[in-house]
Structure 1
Amino acid sequence: MPSPAPDSTIPSLPSSIQHTDLQPPPSPRTHRALRRLQSAHTLGASRNVAAVSSFNQPSLISQQRLREQQHQQHQQQDGNGSPTRGRGASGRARANSDATPPLVHQMNTLTATRRPGSKKPVFSHGHLTLSQIIRDGPADGDYVGALESARWKVIDEGVKSAEDGMSTVRIYVWLILLDAPILSTDDYLALIHRGASPAYSKIRNDTFRTLTTDPLFRRRVSEASLIRLLNAIAWKLHDVKEEERLTLPSTGRSSMARASLASNASESSQGKPEPGVYVQGMNVLAAPFLYAARGEAEAFVAFHSLLTRECPGYIRGAMDGVHRGLALVDKVLAIVDPKLAMYLTAKGLSAEIYAFPSVLTLCACTPPLPEVLRLWDFLFAYGPHLNIVCIVAQLTIMRSQILESPSPNKVLRSFPQLNADLVKSVTIGIIKKIPDDVYGEIVNHTL
């Protein structure tokens, strides 16, 4: 990976912000030359519009997943004439991180292994550790086998990490599970050197509030690092939006004609969704990536893949995907625990009131951070859409406390400390109770 430019090449800070007291971003394990740049506070000084090379080419694993998924669909259709379970009413395919095999089959297999006398499923790379699979790659080009083995090991053994959640392998596990492309440091720096994005003021209003009560995060990740990452993401989202705008003819046409053209263009793109934008709360969603990554470029490409491939509906328009997720929290809770659901409804408490941060941030708003990382291992292995079920799991875990409280709103203002293993275990049990059509909604709600 190319090294960033030395500090001597960085322009001096504008006088208007020289008084800002930046804390040097601590990095006890690796030398982070990138974070010495302190370029977050020079973003407003210049606006370099140099083009940044695209890095959204499909990876080998992505292509292999698609071929395998198509093969499985053909097999099932030939056998019983029905498509795989991973499609909802809209006909959209299962999310990238949940391609094959179908999640419920995998989860039922997992549950079976915990019964007396049962055996673990056999995968092609099952004899290797997760670290070996990540380090050595697939044997004999068996990308699907290596991926499925890695997913199994994530849930069966977990990602080995220290008490503070730090792991030398976790960020690479995430990059693979999120199917993130390779990005050079120079490409990331090119985004940084463009200056302040149109969303820069919104970013600055959010970053200083990010996980302020978490000493682990504050010690490892600086606000300057978070600003750089979010500003680079904002530029990428802005560029996509600009490209779409420029493809619509506008000169010499009335606003009505342009609206008609836009409508036709939308139809001709076969339902291609509108680009995303920077939204409040994205700072919390970015925080675990910076904490787990060995450098900002790694955190950037993993975060960008999550937003644009797995959860585009969360950052589009009025965050429609988030609101669909909140409605699904209510629906799933009513299925698995009708008494608890009715009690909350009687108190006027819908998920829109108490679960918005948990849905938007994939539970990153609930401490402690090391447990968030372990829960994310699970979500990235089997699909971030399962966060909806994880939230319902947390509600059932605190069921007695909610039902015994005359004002459950006070209880729900702050969820109990996250216990990733317990949440995963309860989530797996809940999945078996969800009807196929509702599960299809869960899969598709992030898109």
Structure 2
Amino acid sequence: MPSPTSENQAPSRLGPLSPAMQLHPPPSPGIHRTLRRLQSAHSLGAKAAAQPSLISQQRLQLQQQQHQFQNLNQHLQKHPPAPAPRSHASVNRSPQRARANSDAPPIPNVSPVQPTTHATMTAATATRRSALSKRSLAADAMSLERLLREGPPNGDIEGALESTRLKILDQGIRSDSDGMSSLRIYVWLILLNAPMLDTDSYLALIHRGASPAYSKIRNDTFRTLSTDPLFRRRVSEASLIRLLNAFAWTLHDAREVRTRDPSVASSTRHSLDQSSSRPGTGYGSDYGSPASSPTAKRARALTLTTEGSVTSVTAEAGTYVQGMNVLAAPFLYAARSEAEAYVAFHQLLTKECPGYIRGAMDGVHKGLALVDKVLAIVDPKLSMHLLSKNLSAEIYAFPSVLTLCACTPPLPEVLRLWDFLFAYGPHLNILCIVAQLVMIRTKIMGSASPNKLLRSFPALQADQIKHTTLAIIRMIPDDVYAEIVAHAR
């Protein structure tokens, strides 16, 4: 259908004009651009005068809903209804979109009425707008530096957290060209709800010596971001070994707690168990002898392979999973001490993504299946093209799911993307991977061998990935989004 502002449609849209509003012909009969612009402007102006703007309609609708909600609350306070049994419809109702452990809890319903009533439906509508309603105006007026230094104004922790998330989404965390920031690690610790850890507790883990997974750790750490000069200049392999070895001890101790009397546990294990009530365990992957040639080392430096990702589950559980070294790298780069990096790393894997290191990494494989499902919803044509080439997410997206995209350079962009993931939930990494596929859609569709293109993803562009992810969220059904939230638990 032609545009309503095109030349052949504009006269019928304008209708009769008053003498004062007659359109005068342009100075030259050969120039039609001016006439079309005047006709289009008049058409839009007449249409705008005939009906209120979208903003006005939204304001009017919001005022009406708020007025109805207030009247209903007043009525319920005077005449509280008797509680009714849960109906079959309420049990099968689509779940509300959950939030990560690092997120604030949802606003409770203000009314005892059942979910099928108008009161709770209105409350659910208000909950979906909670991102704005929970904001603290006092925290909004403060800079991120001041907010971290002085704490939440008036003790409003929930409002300050929401304001912090919106600041990260809108402005980001201020950093230099290398991605270094004096605030980032503290913002991460707050968003991950990481507990305080005594440095002596971390040192006690170090002094215990080599863990059962020490040989596997040493077989992996030397190639962690080995071609990234920023990482190599700031983080030593020794610090990476110490952090991973300490974490392996905590997983080893947590496994023993479940098989023996907790009273025999060491004091170090007791102090760490208080900070993590649900530790995870994982099955390690034997890599064999390390790659000998420099070419092989460079090939595996910034992008993990899927070697060992699908292994047979043995009877004896391990304490180290391939990819932990890459997950630990950004924490060590951003932190000001190993203890800070350790507690943030520990909180991420044991609270936010325990499924990634438990069993046969079931959480990772659930995430890969969700990448395929979300891509089929967002871009069916691209999804069918990849599947026709026998390219499922299990083949090309395993490293990105397991490492929260930390396997893709450059490192400063990884840090900016993690700011977004920790603010709104690491589960959004699934959508970020789909966003990267959508961003290179033209290259994938035009490539005769997409496998070569997807063997290593293009360089991260954190801002563009965030914007594309926010657009994808609106296209995801609530039940699929609930799977995304819970896949790593």
**TM-score after normalising by structure 1:** 0.70
Structure-2 residue corresponding to 1:72? none
Q: CA deviation at 1:101?
A: 5.3
Q: Deviations over 1:234-254 (max 9, x none)?
A: 011111001001159xxxxxx
Structure-1 residue corresponding to 2:220? 206
Sequence identity percentage: 69
Write the distance in 2 (CA, Å) between the matches of 1:174 and 1:210: 22
Structure-2 residue corresponding to 1:385? 427
Q: 1:89-238 to 2 correspondence within 5 Å?
A: 94-100=99-105, 123-238=137-252
Write the distance in 2 (CA, Å) between the matches of 1:330 and 1:273: 29
Count of residues paired in the alignment = 334
Structure-2 residue corresponding to 1:442? 484
Greater mean alpha carbon deviation, residues 302-311 or residues 145-154:
145-154
Structure-2 residue corresponding to 1:431? 473
Q: Establish whether residue 245 from structure 1 lines up as the match of residue 265 from structure 2.
A: no
Q: Which structure has the higher relative contact order (CA within 8 Å, separation 6+)?
A: 1
The answer to whether the 8 A contact 1:96-1:309 is kept is yes
* Match among 453, 456, 460 for residue 418 of structure 1: 460
Q: CA deviation at 1:287?
A: 0.1
AA matched with 1:145? G
Write the distance in 2 (CA, Å) between the matches of 1:344 and 1:383: 28
Q: Which runs of 4+ in 1 moved over 2 A?
A: 80-84, 98-102, 104-111, 119-124, 272-277
AA matched with 2:449? S
Write the distance in 1 (CA, Å) between the matches of 2:453 and 2:127: 31
Q: CA deviation at 1:320?
A: 0.3
Q: CA deviation at 1:211?
A: 0.3
Call closer, same or farther: CA 1:215–1:387 in 2, change over 3 Å. same
Structure-1 residue corresponding to 2:314? none
Write the distance in 2 (CA, Å) between the matches of 1:333 and 1:428: 14
Call closer, same or farther: CA 1:105–1:390 in 2, change over 3 Å. farther
Instruction: Give 3-state SS (helix, strand or coil) of 2:240's partner.
Output: helix
* Match among 382, 387, 412 for residue 340 of structure 1: 382
Q: CA deviation at 1:122?
A: 6.1
Instruction: Give 3-state SS (helix, strand or coil) of 2:332's partner.
Output: helix
The answer to whether the 8 A contact 1:203-1:227 is kept is yes
Call closer, same or farther: CA 1:303–1:128 in 2, change over 3 Å. same
The answer to whether the 8 A contact 2:400-2:406 is kept is yes
Q: 1:267-306 to 2 correspondence within 5 Å?
A: 275-276=281-282, 277-306=319-348
- Can you give the 5+ residue segments of structure 1 that lack an aligned partner in the other structure? 1-76, 88-93, 114-118, 249-271
Write the distance in 1 (CA, Å) between the matches of 2:183 and 2:373: 37
* Match among 365, 369, 383 for residue 323 of structure 1: 365
Call closer, same or farther: CA 1:145–1:122 in 2, change over 3 Å. closer
Larger radius of gyration: 2
CA RMSD between the two structures: 2.8
Q: CA deviation at 1:416?
A: 0.6
Call closer, same or farther: CA 1:273–1:206 in 2, change over 3 Å. closer
Q: Establish whether residue 85 from structure 1 lines up as the match of residue 85 from structure 2.
A: no
The answer to whether the 8 A contact 1:123-1:148 is kept is no
Q: 1:327-406 to 2 correspondence within 5 Å?
A: 327-406=369-448
**TM-score after normalising by structure 2:** 0.65
The answer to whether the 8 A contact 2:378-2:472 is kept is yes
AA matched with 1:178? L
Q: CA deviation at 1:86?
A: 3.3
Write the distance in 2 (CA, Å) between the matches of 1:423 and 1:110: 24
Q: CA deviation at 1:133?
A: 1.2
Write the distance in 1 (CA, Å) between the matches of 2:351 and 2:151: 23
Q: CA deviation at 1:324?
A: 0.2
The answer to whether the 8 A contact 1:108-1:432 is kept is no
Write the distance in 2 (CA, Å) between the matches of 1:331 and 1:106: 29
- Can you give the 5+ residue segments of structure 2 that lack an aligned partner in the other structure? 1-84, 108-123, 263-277, 283-318
Q: CA deviation at 1:95?
A: 2.4
AA matched with 1:182? M
